[in-house]
C-alpha cells in the first residue's frame, strides 16, 4: 500500500509575492498626513469633548480645591483653548507623529509634580494615543494607499 500526497503551493507563492510588494511599498506622504491629522484630531476631540484616554478611561475630575477656582467656561484641559493650540502633527518620509513639544502638554499626558518646589501634583489625563475610532480611520487610510499602489 502506498499513499501519495500532492501539494500545490501556487497560492502560497502568490501570497508571498503580494506580501513582498506590501513590504516594499512605503506609505505615501498623503496617507501619512491623513494618519497624522487623525491622531491630532483624536487628541483634540478627547480634550474638547470626550474627557477620556484613548483607551476610553474617563479622566479624574479636578481636585475640589482647584475646581472652586474654575468658572463655567472651564473644563478639564480646556481654558481658552491653550492645550488644543499646543497640538500639531508632523510627517516625514516614513512616519506620522502627533503631539506637542511643550512641557505643559507632557505633564497633563503623564501627570507628575509641577510648580514652585514641585508642590503641585497634576493627575495624568492622557489625550495622546490611538483610540478604536482612530484605528479605523488609520486602517482605512493605509488600505486606500495600498490599493492605490496596486492599481498603479
pLDDT computed for residue 107 by the predictor: 86
Residues pairing with 99 in the sheet: 88
Asked whether residue 70 is assigned to any structural domain, the reply reads: yes
Asked whether residue 3 is assigned to any structural domain, the reply reads: no
Overall number of domains in the chain: 1
Asked whether residue 4 is assigned to any structural domain, the reply reads: no
Asked whether residue 12 is assigned to any structural domain, the reply reads: no
pLDDT computed for residue 151 by the predictor: 67
Contacts of 4 (CB under 8 A, 6+ apart): none
pLDDT computed for residue 71 by the predictor: 65
Alpha-carbon gap, residue 32 to 142, rounded angstroms: 8
Asked whether residue 85 is assigned to any structural domain, the reply reads: yes
- Cβ-contact 111, 122 below 8 angstroms: yes
Alpha-carbon gap, residue 131 to 42, rounded angstroms: 8
Asked whether residue 58 is assigned to any structural domain, the reply reads: yes
Segment 125-137 mean pLDDT: 93
Confidence of residue 88 (pLDDT cuts 50, 70, 90): very high
Asked whether residue 7 is assigned to any structural domain, the reply reads: no
Give the domain extent around 47: 29-151
Among residues of the chain, what percentage have pLDDT more than 70?
A: 82
Asked whether residue 147 is assigned to any structural domain, the reply reads: yes
Alpha-carbon gap, residue 147 to 141, rounded angstroms: 10
Alpha-carbon gap, residue 36 to 30, rounded angstroms: 10
- pLDDT tens string 42-70: 999 998 888 899 999 998 887 777 767 77
Alpha-carbon gap, residue 128 to 85, rounded angstroms: 14
Amino acid at each position: 500500500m502506498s499513499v501519495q500526497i500532492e501539494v500545490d503551493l501556487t497560492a502560497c507563492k502568490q501570497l508571498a509575492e503580494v506580501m513582498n510588494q506590501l513590504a516594499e511599498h512605503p506609505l505615501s506622504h498623503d496617507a501619512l498626513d491623513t494618519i497624522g491629522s487623525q491622531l491630532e484630531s483624536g487628541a483634540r476631540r478627547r480634550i474638547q469633548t470626550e474627557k477620556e484616554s484613548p483607551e476610553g478611561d474617563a479622566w479624574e475630575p479636578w481636585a475640589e480645591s482647584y475646581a472652586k477656582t474654575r468658572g463655567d467656561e472651564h473644563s478639564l484641559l480646556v481654558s481658552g483653548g491653550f492645550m488644543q493650540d499646543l497640538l500639531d502633527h508632523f510627517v516625514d518620509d516614513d512616519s506620522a507623529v502627533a503631539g506637542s513639544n511643550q512641557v505643559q502638554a507632557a505633564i497633563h499626558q503623564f501627570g507628575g509634580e509641577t510648580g514652585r518646589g514641585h508642590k503641585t501634583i497634576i493627575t495624568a489625563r492622557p489625550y495622546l494615543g490611538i483610540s478604536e475610532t482612530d484605528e479605523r480611520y488609520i486602517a482605512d487610510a493605509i488600505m486606500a494607499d495600498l490599493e492605490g499602489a496596486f492599481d498603479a
